[in-house]
């Protein structure tokens, strides 16, 4: 059962989070942390940029600023996984940060709600409580 949840999180929820990350808009800057500096990564970016006919004017530089990384298409292994942010490292860090906040919150809420639901189920029956849980889940989604 645990594998099903892990698969759902990996293949459904995380990609959903990736698409919601935005950056470099309104003149924002991600700072030097997310600049591309690795020579192998730069060479890979350059070769794919040439193959895809993207702007490769940065070739020969020792790094690429975080917001100047080429906009690789979804089929590329260098695609950021977000439609509104080009920097893959920033997108992945942002999604992991969201997950790091959401997981404990989910556990705390479950710890508070499940005993209450159990007590209500003891008094009025399981079926109405399960229907109420399902309705709340549908509303939350």
SS3 content of the chain, % helix, strand, coil (to 5): 65, 5, 35
> What does the pLDDT look like over 1-18, one tens digit per residue?
556 767 777 767 777 777
Is 98's pLDDT higher than 90? no
pLDDT tens digit sequence for 19-74 = 777 787 656 677 788 888 888 888 888 888 888 888 766 666 778 888 888 888 88
Output the six-digit token pair for 76. Answer: 């590329």
pLDDT single digits (tens) 67-77: 888 888 888 88
pTM exceeds cut of 0.75: no
């Amino acid at each position: 059962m645990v594998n099903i949840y892990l698969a759902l999180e990996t293949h459904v929820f995380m990609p959903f989070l990736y698409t919601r990350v935005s950056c470099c808009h309104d003149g924002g800057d991600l700072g030097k942390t997310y600049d591309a500096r690795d020579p192998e990564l730069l060479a890979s970016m350059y070769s794919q940029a040439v193959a895809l006919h993207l702007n490769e004017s940065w070739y020969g530089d020792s790094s690429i600023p975080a917001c100047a990384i080429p906009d690789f298409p979804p089929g590329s292994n260098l695609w950021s996984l977000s439609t509104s942010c080009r920097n893959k490292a920033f997108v992945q860090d942002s999604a992991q940060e969201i997950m790091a906040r959401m997981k404990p919150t989910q556990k705390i809420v479950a710890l508070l709600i499940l005993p209450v639901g159990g007590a209500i189920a003891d008094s009025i029956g399981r079926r109405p409580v399960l229907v109420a849980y399902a309705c709340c889940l549908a509303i939350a989604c």
